[in-house]
Amino acid sequence: MSGILCGICGEKLFSKFVETPEGPRCGMCRRAAPLFQRAVAYGAYDGTLRDLIHLLKYQQIKPVAPLLGRLLAEALAGVRLPEPLVVVPVPLFKRKLRERGFNQTEEIARAFMHRRLLRSIQLDTCSLVRVRETASQTGLTRHQRRANLRGAFAVARPESIEGRNVLVIDDVMTTGTTAGECSRVLLRAGAKQVFVATVARATREVEIHLREPEAAGQAAHA
């Protein structure tokens, strides 16, 4: 992502009046900082990057995953992450997993792990689970997204998380609601700190014109 970014959530900022003593901050993070320490993304959820994510997510073209994993590693290359670190992909609900045949975020996380930016890093695909099916987040407001996801995740193996630094991986971040809810349950289970990394970030300048095509794509592949 280029330009001025919020130092916490990674939102692209369009005003020069964003500096704080701690660095650039968006309005949301100024009012109420997220539970995660920092979120980073490789690029905007638009154009070729959006097409690549859709090839993996909706057309099941799994060879795209290594490329997305490499892009994720590039996004994190300049970020100082604490060690040891547990990498946790955002899980799918079991019915959706059966329908799709794989979790695209887990595929990206596995590809990312092959690059091993840190010496002490571990992939955990079992501790964070999705316990409730949720409606599509497309077109929902931030408040509606938060209500939709409340109680959707749980930690099945808290002993694997307690006292550990966690990196949550997802394909796309829009408002940060999913990342926030995952962070909430991980911290409640005893995680020390939570960081977030996504391949793409839906910025305000492209989010509006993407809503209708995104909804159509999800409906076609539901």
pLDDT given for residue 66 in this prediction = 96
pLDDT given for residue 25 in this prediction = 83
Pairing mode, if any, of strands 165-173 and 193-201?
Answer: parallel
pLDDT given for residue 131 in this prediction = 92
Q: Residue 83 burial by CB count (10 A; 0-12/13-18/19+): exposed, middle or buried?
A: exposed
Task: Give the chain's domains with CATH numbers.
Answer: 1-33 (no CATH), 36-221 (3.40.50)
pLDDT given for residue 222 in this prediction = 41
Consecutive sets of 10 residues in the chain, 222 residues long: mean pLDDT of each?
A: 78 72 80 89 95 95 96 92 95 93 96 83 95 75 76 94 97 91 96 97 57 47 43
Q: Residue 179 burial by CB count (10 A; 0-12/13-18/19+): exposed, middle or buried?
A: buried
pLDDT given for residue 20 in this prediction = 76
CA-wise closest residue to 18 among 6, 10, 9, 8: 6
pLDDT given for residue 204 in this prediction = 59
